[in-house]
Amino acid sequence: MLTYELRNLARSRWIYGYAGVFWAASFLTFSFAEGAEQALLSLTHWNLLAVPLVSAIGAANAVYGRRRFDEFLLTQPVSRSAVFFSSAGALVLGLVSAFALPVGGLCLLAESPGGVSARMVAGGSAVAAVFVMLGTAVGLAVEDRARGLGLLLLIWIIASVVYDALLLYAIAMLEDYPIEPFLTVAVWVNPVDAVRLLLYQDLGLRFLLPVTLPEWSVWAGLAGWLGAVSLCTWLMALRKDY
Amino acid sequence: MTKLSLVQVRKTYRAVCALHDVSFEAPAGQVTALVGPNASGKTTLMKIILGLVRADRGAILWEERPLADYGRFQRLLGYMPQIPNFPVYLTPAEVTRIVAQLRGHRLAGFEHLAESFRLAPFWHRPIGKLSLGTRQKLSAVLALGVEAQILILDEPTVGFDPAAAVVFRRLVARKKEEGATVLFVSHLVQEVESIADRVVFLEEGRVRFAGSRPELQARTGARSLEEAVLSFYDC
């Protein structure tokens, strides 16, 4: 089933449009930025804003669009787990590839610093995977498409914009207090900020987010997020009334 | 006698009770029509039989055993949904291959049925480019092409052209002769008249009548099945 899911996704135009937007954004950034490091910083900001939004909305839309086909598949002798993992797996593979291939390819062509580029692509891919699963979860849990997409927009604004603003506000207001342990946890908890911090550390821009996290803990946090959201979504798929 | 039995099936959505202890039997080798006004619980009932919705209580029995005890009980079932919705970038040939692989069936049986519905010109076109009627024909091929002992058909002929409707009715009649239990939902009373051996009338989640055509006509005093069914609609 995964093969057919991927085939269906590979024939859809919107996934190429999505990949094209990332290719164009990366191309323009590398063309006009002053140096590879500045280009990577700009790309990081753009990717961490666009990837969660498109991944979550794209996944939820796909879940809403294929609900009746899922119903049909579940009337065949196949487990709910198999239907869930093939459709969610195809979405994760498709949306992560649509981000990672154009951005990673242009990083290679632009001969940008390998370690930072690899972390940016890997971090963006991990964030994409987490938000695809989150979009899938909302698509399964909320029957009404408009409400589901509205909820995802709210989650995206909080994770990508509001949370970061609150962190910076806390840093500015409470700089005289020993808040670094709390900030560290706060950054680690949000996958978008954790990846942002990873790249700030790589680019020597720690002052933008003055906390320190070992690299392994960022990856462990992202893996934890992906595992937890996938597990919850899978359990929802097993128990869902169609 | 082989039969599908529903015993005291209840389903509640939050505060709304969709099905109130619904019980009836659908014997093998007969077509049972599930009729009733909109929102009477027909679709919920079918989804419970299909395993898509869990009942709060009650049992679905096949040959006196709970359907769920049959392992992959979906092997017993063939299903034609009201709205055919398949991945738009796949072709009928690919979707058929998915079902054939999941069922362990040969493709030839499906392709033979597709010829009956004159689907050959559309067999390798993306489903997104097919009309609703053509998708409905594909849906019929997938439901009737499987070796199912229980056929569940939800408003099956909506979108069919007259020729396809005739082919469909003939194929359902053949399944019935082969001993399948056919349960179908329809709002088309003439269709119920032409195809059904038994009728279950649902209203507000309750069974108002369940029995054979002669029993229904005797109870309502109507001369035709159409008249008898319509008498429940208070019109």
Nearest Cβ partner of A75 from B50, B87, B126?
Answer: B50
Which residue in the set B53, B81, B97 is minimally distant from A72, CB to CB?
B81
pLDDT digits (tens, 9 = 90+) for B6-32: 999 999 988 888 999 999 999 999 999
Q: What is the pLDDT of residue B193?
A: 83
* Residues B195 and B172: beta-carbon distance below 8 Å: yes
CB contacts, 8 Å: A75 with chain B: 50-52, 74, 77, 79, 152
CB atoms closer than 10 angstroms to residue A213: 18
pLDDT per residue as tens digits for the range B120-153? 999 999 999 999 999 999 999 999 999 889 999 9
- Best mutation site among B48, B89, B150, B151 for testing chain A: the one with the most A CBs within 10 Å? B89
Band (pLDDT 50/70/90 cuts) for residue B71 is low
Could you tell me how many CB contacts below 8 A there are between chain A and chain B?
69
- Chain B closest-CA separation from residue A80 CA (Å): 10
- How much is the average pLDDT of A142-157? 95
Of B72, B75, B81, the CB nearest to A71: B81
Could you tell me how many helices (H) and strands (E) chain A has, helices first?
11, 0
The percentage of residues in chain B with a pLDDT greater than 70, rounded to a whole number, is 98
Q: Is ipTM beyond 0.90?
A: no
Over residues B73-93, the mean pLDDT reads: 90
Closest chain B C-alpha to A66 CA, distance in angstroms? 7
Note whether B68 contacts A: Cβ–Cβ < 8 A: no
State how far residue A142 is from chain B, nearest Cα, in angstroms.
14
pTM of the full predicted structure? 0.87
Helix, strand and coil percent figures for chain B, each rounded to 5: 40, 25, 30
Q: Which of B51, B89, B102 lies nearest to residue A12, judging by beta carbons?
A: B89
Residue of B52, B79, B89 lying closest to A8 (CB–CB): B89
B198 Cβ under 8 Å from any chain A Cβ: no
> How many CB atoms lie under 10 A from the CB of residue A231?
11
Q: Does B218 touch chain A (CB under 8 A)?
A: no
Average pLDDT for chain A: 90
Tell me the residue type at A202.
D
Of B81, B89, B97, the CB nearest to A68: B81
Nearest CA of chain A to the CA of B208: how many Å?
26
Taking CB atoms within 8 Å and a gap of at least 24, the contacts of B161-165 are: B161/B133, B164/B117, B164/B133, B164/B136, B164/B137, B164/B140
Reply yes or no on whether the pLDDT at A153 is more than 90.
yes
A74/B51 Cβ within 8 A? yes
Among chain A residues, the shortest Cα distance to B80 is held by A72
CB contact, 8 Å: B55 with chain A? no
What is the distance in angstroms between the Cα of B94 and the nearest Cα belonging to chain A? 8
Query: What pLDDT sits at residue B235?
Result: 54
B85/A72 CB distance under 8 A: yes
B97 or B158, which is more confident: B97
Model confidence pLDDT, tens digit, residues A52-83? 999 999 999 999 998 999 999 999 999 999 99
Q: Which of B47, B81, B90 sits opposite A4 (nearest CB)?
A: B90
* Model confidence at B119: pLDDT above 70: yes
CA–CA distance, A108 with A66 (Å, rounded to integer): 36
- Taking the CA of residue A82 and the nearest CA in chain B, the distance in Å comes to 11
**Banded model confidence at residue A215, pLDDT cuts 50, 70, 90:** confident
What is the pLDDT, as a whole number, of residue B121?
93
Over residues A172-191, the pLDDT tens digits come to 888 788 888 888 888 888 99
Long-range CB pairs of A95-98, under 8 A, 24+ apart, other chains included: A95/A15, A95/A18, A95/A54, A95/A55, A95/A58, A95/A59, A95/A128, A95/A132, A96/A125, A96/A128, A96/A129, A96/A132, A97/A19, A98/A15, A98/A16, A98/A18, A98/A19, A98/A22
| A69 vs B: CB within 8 A | yes
Are B99 and A76 within 8 A, CB to CB? yes
Asked if the Cβ–Cβ distance from A76 to B103 is below 8 Å, we say: yes
Contact assignment for A75 to B52 by CB distance below 8 Å = yes
CB contact under 8 A, A241 and B53: yes
Question: Considering chain B, what is the average pLDDT of its residues?
Answer: 89
Query: Looking at the predicted structure, is the pLDDT value of residue B3 above 90?
Result: no
Q: Does A3 touch chain B (CB under 8 A)?
A: no
Q: CA dist A226 to A190, A231, B8, B195, B222, Å?
A: 12, 8, 42, 52, 63
Chain B residues within an 8 Å CB radius of A73: 98, 102
pLDDT at res. B45: 93
A62 to chain B: closest CA residue: B87
